[in-house]
Structure 1
Amino acid sequence: MSGEPPVVRLGRDLVRNFESLPPDKAASEIATHIRKFWEPRMRQDLLARVRARSADLPPLLVSAAEHLVDGDVDREEVKQPSGG
């Protein structure tokens, strides 16, 4: 896995951190973390990989990406602590 793109590697790390939660809650928490802490180009890269149906993405990360929209950042939400 050392040759993985950063968004895939970081996405897998998030999945490992949240996979103990119920799937819907985990996907929501992962999406919140991504919106708050990932740079826009990282979010865009993830969304492009999801749209291309990249086989290297964990299903929970794909579910989380469904909560994201290109350019979508809620500045008030960023001020609040995250679950991750």
Structure 2
Amino acid sequence: MNPDRLVYMANQIAKGFRLKTEDRAVADTLDHIQKFWEPRMRREILAVLASGGDGLEPIARKAVEQIKVS
């Protein structure tokens, strides 16, 4: 999948939770990614993070930092 598309998707998920406290928004973003993104997508967004995480908004970035790939 296109890395820019994954960044966009992660940011959109995070944006949906932005009215919550930051900790809750990060947790809910992470939960959504863990539940609904396949392992390949999670590995690819982790690669984006490893290369600097360009484009990731703060809540999305914090969630991505906690992703576990099965």
- 1:53 aligns with 52
* 5+ long unaligned stretches in structure 2: none
User: For structure 1, which runs of at least 5 residues remain unmatched after alignment?
Assistant: 72-84
Number of equivalenced pairs: 69
Provide the residue aligned with 2:6 in structure 1.
7
Aligned to 1:23: 22
Q: TM-score, normalised by structure 1?
A: 0.72
1:5 alignment partner, SS class: helix
* Runs of 4+ residues deviating >3 angstroms: none
RMSD value, Cα = 1.7
Residues 22-78 of structure 1, C-alpha deviation per residue, up to 9 Å, x if partnerless? Answer: 11111110000001001111111111111211221111111011221222xxxxxxx
Tell me which residue corresponds to 1:82. Answer: none
- Corresponding residue for residue 64 of structure 1: 63
Q: Quick check: which one's helix share is greater?
A: 2
Relative to the length of structure 2, the TM-score reads 0.85
